[in-house]
Structure 1
């Protein structure tokens, strides 16, 4: 039987996590290790300054006390699985909200998949896009995301992971019902547009504090409509292959020609 490790960044009580477990249970043995609390936008962070503890919620279901999604994958590999019996696949999600463009670098959801492939395990991240910050994810539901996750994971487990080393799949699901979805589209990560949504407030003592808000999903249009944002806009499930090698190869020769002193 195939072994699937599931995690997320919305916490162990997330409805998206529950939906993912339901979707993938027919495909193999499921182990869930998720953060105790929401860890959205924590990036690819490990916890190095305090101890971590597995708390068992149910059979093969654990919360990692104050851990990050990266912690969940890293520790699970060595604490819950033997060297001879490792997960065949790590699936992170179903995230509540989009993870497209450069948001991948912030995403705890995507970072769990990053850690999986760093540890030599195929990894995918799946996110449910919302039409707006006001759209209720509970009303939208996860039916389309569940179908997409099942089909993609089934393909991987039967035919093998389609990517090379240190590469993962980042999947975003449009905010529509299954009958409105046009299918799958392989995409590139788009160019996200960012602003400043830091909101200044004062507490009852008059002290200033800030809340960081959410930016609207805006991007630089892609002429070939092949980016993740365009696919979601057209009601396709976006599948983006992501590699962890962030070297800007096209700039190496330019830097070699850069006049810089040989001696420090």
Structure 2
């Protein structure tokens, strides 16, 4: 039986995590290891300054006490999948909210898939785009399209081959549509997100100031080709983006070398 490891940066109680498990269980043995609390936008962080503890909730379902999604994958591969008994597939999600464009540099969802890719395991990050508040996912759209997508793609991987070379993973974003409304899949590049500063200043009852960070709108630099992940979502397609961990700006190497030597 195929072995599948899943996590979710929204925490072990996330509806998206349980939808993911439901979608993948027909394909193999699913092990769930997720943070004990929400860890959105924690990036590819490991916990190095305190101990971590697996807490068993059910058979093959653990929460990692105050761990990050990367911790969940890293420790699972060391403690639960020892030796050659590694998972056949790692899936992170279904995230509540998009991970489009440069969002992947912030994303705990994408970072769990990065960790899988570092260990040579086929890995997927999958996120559900929503319109309005995050509660809109459960109340209006559900995870039906995301479940169908991840089931179909995981089946294709487990019964065939992973389409990417080493240290690369699939970043999938699901439009806020039903399966009948979706136009299909589009292979995309990561878009150029437009970011602002959405920090809100408040005061507590003692008059002390604090800031609460908000959520940015989905604005991006548009191109004539309309080939990026954000354009695909806008057009009603599932976006599938191959992501590589090598962040070297290869086209700048010669320019930088010339700058060092000649100023």
TM range (shorter): over 0.9
- The aligned counterpart of 2:40 is 40
In the TM superposition, residue 260 of structure 1 has moved relative to its aligned partner by 5.8
In the TM superposition, residue 133 of structure 1 has moved relative to its aligned partner by 3.4
SS in 1 for 2:180: helix
Pairwise CA RMSD? 1.3
Distance 2:231 2:133 in 1: 19
TM (norm. structure 2) is 0.97
Distance 1:247 1:76 in 2: 29
SS in 2 for 1:98: coil
In the TM superposition, residue 120 of structure 1 has moved relative to its aligned partner by 1.2
Q: Evaluate the alpha carbon distance shift between residue 70 and residue 180 of structure 1 in structure 2; reply closer, same or farther with a 3 A threshold.
A: same
In the TM superposition, residue 96 of structure 1 has moved relative to its aligned partner by 0.3
Checking the alignment, whether the CA contact within 8 Å between 1:190 and 1:222 is kept in structure 2 is no
- The aligned counterpart of 2:144 is 143
- The aligned counterpart of 2:200 is 199
Q: Return 5+ residue gaps in structure 1 as ranges.
A: none
Checking the alignment, whether the CA contact within 8 Å between 2:96 and 2:134 is kept in structure 1 is no
User: Across the two proteins, how many residue pairs are aligned to each other?
Assistant: 262
Q: Note if 1:152 corresponds to 2:146.
A: no
Q: Note if 1:75 corresponds to 2:75.
A: yes
SS in 2 for 1:257: helix
Distance 2:17 2:190 in 1: 24
In the TM superposition, residue 205 of structure 1 has moved relative to its aligned partner by 1.2
TM (norm. structure 1) is 0.97
Runs of 4+ that moved beyond 6 A: none
Distance 2:109 2:134 in 1: 21
- The aligned counterpart of 1:227 is 228
Q: Note if 1:120 corresponds to 2:116.
A: no
Distance 1:134 1:104 in 2: 19
Distance 1:135 1:223 in 2: 34
In the TM superposition, residue 161 of structure 1 has moved relative to its aligned partner by 0.6
Distance 1:135 1:73 in 2: 27
In the TM superposition, residue 222 of structure 1 has moved relative to its aligned partner by 2.2
- The aligned counterpart of 1:188 is 189
Which string of whole-angstrom CA distances, capped at 9 and with x for unpartnered residues, describes residues 21-74 of structure 1?
000000000000000000000000000000000000000000000000000000
1:12-23 to structure 2, matched below 5 A, reads 12-23=12-23
